[in-house]
Structure 1
Amino acid sequence: MIKACLALASCLLVVLAPQCAASDDLDPEREVLLIVDLPATVVYDVTVSDLLPKGLIYESESLRISGSKIHPKETVGDPNDGTGDVSITWYFGEVNNTMDQDIRIGFQAKVADAPDIRAGALLPGEKATLRWRDSSDCLHFSSDESDGVVIVEPDLILKRAILQDEYYEIITLQISHSPSSSAPAFDVDLTELLPSKMAYLPGSAEILSGPDGEIIEGTSHLMWHFDAVDPSWADAKKVILSYRAIPENQSNSQRPSAILSWTSAAGDDPNERKYFASDDGEGPISQSDQELAIAMIDDPDPVLPGGILNYTVNYRNSKDSAIWAMAHVIYDRNVSFLSASPPPDTGTEGQWTVGDISPQGSGTINISVRVNPSAPGGSELVSHAQIGSSSAALSRTKVIGSSALVIENNASSPILCPGGSLNYTLTFKNEGSEDALNVTVTDILDSNLQFDEVAGCTPRPSRIWRDDEGVHLFWNAETLGSRVLSPGQFGKIDLRARLEDRAEGHEIDRIINRYAVASETTAESFQSLETLVVRSVFIRKTAPKNEYFKGELVNYTILFGNEHSIEASDAVIIDRLPDVEFVGAIPSPSRINGNLICWELGTLQPHSSGSILLCVKIKKRPEVIFRDNQSVSGRGYVAARQMLNTSQQARALINYANITAEISGDEVRDSSCAIVNLLDAYGAAIETTQHGSGDLEHVQLMDYSTKCGIILKSHTRISHSPVSLRLSGKNQTVDSLWTDLTSSANYYRQEKLSESYQYMDEIEKDAAILLDPNQTVYNSQSEFSGGIAQMSYLHGGEDATSGGMAISERFHGNFLLQRYLDSYGRGASYTESSFGQGFVSTDKRTPSYESYLHGSGLYRSRETFAGDRWIHKNVSLIFEPQNLSAGSIPVNYTSKWREGLSVGDGRSGFQISSDAIQMIFLQKDALMDSSSLTMTQEFEGISSTKALTGWNATLDEIFAGRFSQDLKIRNSCPGLKWPGPPLVSLS
């Protein structure tokens, strides 16, 4: 006889579901709870079983048990993936329940991401059973069953509104839960993709209403991220996002598109369900009725590298009085501010307090900027102007090479079939301000193309030859009629080529046409144009660039089509994603299975094509945090070395896509892939070394995190003296001057920075170094005696002549140094303040600027070297021979002071320079920018000043002896006349 001596209470069953929630409670922290009420005695063979219905997954790591016995033997049925019922059994064996503690079993269960588990589905109840024996070996049994569970899912709606006025568009996006949604949405990402002819106004993205979120800005896309959006954001209460964009012209019909993605569980959960919604940008556009309007005009357009670019900003008030209006201009990073009329607010370069503007009132701001001499030809300068809170304008200026010759190549089709023909149109033009002489054009056809030498081109080439590169076509100036190509004149070449039929059986997926224009003063610089080779039913996949950081969005384009003369049926595209996160696609996929994205296209008409926009996010690597905090003080001998290197082996993500279809009962297929390289492998590295004998006090903090990069902060105080140590049973004297070395490399930005102190008697220094993907920051204060201190910084090439910056400093003697460098933004800026006695050698240079100094004696200097923008230098130097030593080696310095600074552009011939040599003493204050030099100096020695424009305007002066000098030189624009003779006063 089996006696029921146990009461198994009604199971409180709440399913913890990442993409679904229980019908009676949406609290994700609740769990399945089994309360086992045992008799207050010792019982045996206690076994509890629970049967989860199909659709639920048991989370074994969430199990928690309390009461009389807490360590049972657990058995879980297989499979535990939601495809069928799963049984969980806990065997407790003998349980001493004399204290009447009973047993409570709690665990979490998740709803499986299965096709038939959808919103509104009803899962059957959960069944729990209990078996145990009493002291008489009598078996007892009890069971209970929970209520069923109704599945709910998050469902979001995306809507867009566009407000347009004369100059810009305000885009508003709304996110809300649908009426059928009653579960929170997690990891909500809204990605806005801007077309090529629309520019985002930096800093204008906002979250007008909604939960706490994050805004990520890019050049061609925006992304808003929310950890969670709960169901309260519905009906009239919506998440509202806004930003401003400026179309290239008001007739532009291209609109931004949006992809909204969310999941059913927070964080990365393999069982979560992903959801998507999209907006293709179609919709009504309302006209703005703003009071304030602004326009921005650039001149000249195009502009030469290193040239002057003038902006005219016009604003007007079309309605009531505008109170206390302010205008702002955001400059492209490749221009530097020179002047403005009226001048900007004090301490700013791009802000004007306009004040009150009467009805129908207007005004103008004229601005001059200098284009970076290193700005590449063919690039575009984009600057913005804004007045009030919502009126903005955009200026786009093309940068042309110094030769002013440009060439374009257009193909008649982006795709080509074996046996098909392709027409190329080459257009060359002189966009400069001077004649181009003896202009020639070269075109290299792909080796797989066939070319008719007689009728394949107009005009016929002057010369044709073939090699491994392909068919070379050359047109001389006589053939083109371009012995003199005046500004604005252009020429055109039409040529036709055919892809050979045998390419059908070859693995050729694209053909490349290379072309270039040249003249007497312009060398050939080849460009290329790719055309995709397709056969039958085809697919081609491309990415807009080759390199990405982790966490960035990649917008792939999948081009597909049917080049047969009959239709293709049952066409299907399958995209196999690498280790990335799917964000969305336009059009939406037919189905998603893990990393496989599928579009069921159906029938492809003859000679038709289409495209898919696929957006993915490169996964961020897990957050890594490392911290080393140390402090040491004492007397003796020290030899220490530390190194941290976060660079990784570079890797690529390969994304495959294939298409299958049927033509006349036969299956045809094609495949393609796109490869992008990850930049995170660059990382950063830092190394420190110390050794010497005497007294040491050292405190150091080294931090590393994936988000913040490497930070090193240190304080060091050392004093050299011999020390007596007992080593291997013997007393030994160690006498070693101090060495303190720090070297670092920021591989993200191709920057290297190091400082060293060698042969030191005494040194006290505080230093901080930051290395991250956005910048390198260096801050150091030191005082030392009897040694050599060096600092070097390098960005770009070894000598900075092709770009970047190079700094090298060396001090030998007794000095106090303060140095600060920051490479964030347009380029590195370096500031130093130092004084002392000994030998000094410093050199700082960029492609356009140089500042140097070396000599021996008394020295005091304050200098700011602001990259390719300006130099401010204040020095006081007195020559004295110096008898110093480097360890045991005597070093005598007898060189008089030499100092100088210069700015120039080798291409235009423009240059300003000031040099001081053989100086007994020198006191100098100089300010130099890209077009001027203001200088006051007193000296005994030889001073030379030069100014060249390349247009026969020249200043060349040399003074030898003892002089005082005030000098102002300004060239308003390279290529224009001098505003007047230099002002020189001598005594």
Structure 2
Amino acid sequence: DPLTNVYVNDTNGKSFGPFNLAVNESISFYYETNPVKDVNNTATAEGKDSDGDKVGPVNDWASVEIYQVPVFPELSIVKDDSQDPVIAGKKLTYTIHLANAGNAPAYNITVTETYDENFLYVNATPPPDAGTNNRWTFSVLREQRSIVITVNGIVLDNGESYIENVVEFTSDNGGSGRDTETTTVIPPPSPSLEIIKSDTPDPIEAGNELIYTIILSNNGDANATNVVVKDVFDEILIITEADGGTVEGNTITWNIPSLTPGENVTFTVKATVKIVDVSMVITNFVNATCIEGAYAEDTEKTTVNPPPPMGNPILEITKTDKYDPVSYRGDVEYEITVKNIGDADARNVIVIDKLPKGLNYVYADPIPDEINGSFIMWQFEKIMVGEIVSISLITNVQTFGELINRVNVTCDEGAYDEDNETTSVIEDNEPPYTKKVFHGEVHNVSIWGIYTVHYIPKSTYITLKSKDYPIPGASGVNHTYYRIWKWNVSNSKWNLVFGWKEYHGNIYLYKLASYGKYEIEFYSIDRVENVEEWKWNDVYVYETEDEIPDE
């Protein structure tokens, strides 16, 4: 039968009903309590059938054992990075999450960062403790709460492939923990230069055109700026086309404002090879630099062969000055070199040097065959194939300014060459400077901080070394003079060992007058009669080291 007027009650005082309950029907009731001790709960149900008769009561019970949940904080720390990977030299941000997943507060928490040596701290939110950049102190972190720390910095470009930062925490009641974050570091974008130099033809016959091709490429991932290409060529090349480059001396220079990644430029250099008399290999060097520091270089070797024999002499003459500039009223030393680079002997070779105004002949080796004022001539019966003749010519300057001295060479076979040398003439108004040099043991003793006495054994000798000024342009030291005194202990006077005389070699004081104290005086004169003020020094030749005062 169905039931009506059904009630359900339990020992907690809960009551449900009245309600009807059909045949085979069931119904459930739910409620919550917060007991603090063990529970035994009995439920009672009763109702009426279709005749109105009471049904029940019926009972059921359940028991629950109550236990206390522990109360404690549960701290954890996690560290993340952004960007990863990071480009060296760029910003890196660390985010630190400190969380309390427990059911009680954590007290007196200290968070400490250990930065990688290649991480440069910039700032943090919240700011670290005063006087630090890596420590944060929190008095309390409530249960189910968290704290976020953000640290910003720069990854230094020291060639590292990764950096590693460690964060740790300690607390009074939440224990300790740590986390490590490893960040991959990639190098910053940079240019990478490559330069290739090739030649054609190779080998080449002297006298013909040689072509170099230079290809410069940027194989990096960043622009190369202010690119400078320098090509150093051999002295036997005469550059006829530099493809926009600047030729200075034996170097061609190109300037490129910018070379983008993957871009390349090509330079074509044309040159005429000078005549040579023997086969040789020349080496040309090229390099490229840019403001970012990228560098590349290459070399190209070329075999140069002499032209086929023609049966004729080829004369080559050069003239160089030994010193430049030189002084007014001083000497100019020239070196004249004559070479026969042909394939036949040169006969009746005539070398003529015409001295410019203000330049007077002094001496030559070999002696000229004719001297007529400024006209100087040497005659050689024959200069054989490959032979080199050298002439040394000394002249005296009687003017200021630029002197251009010309020389030429001819022979009966019709070969001809010429050269000139420019020499600057300045005024030498400075005297020489002379100093003494000890060869052997010497002890330098300061006397009252005013001057120095040199103590030497008898084996030590002295030389005088002179140098003329200005440099360049000195006329040269002409004479050095010296004289020597010796102290007479018995009468406390200086005795002259010898008077002024020209210096010619080593000075052994002991051999002059045995042991004792000497005074050496010296000075020099240059070729234009600038006179140095004479200098002096006391030198003591000792017999035993006991004679040397404390230094």
Indicate whether the TM-score tops 0.5. no
Bigger-Rg structure (1/2): 2
Return the TM-score normalized by structure 2.
0.36
TM-score with structure 1 length normalisation? 0.22
Q: Which structure's relative contact order is higher, taking Cα pairs within 8 Å and 6+ residues apart?
A: 2
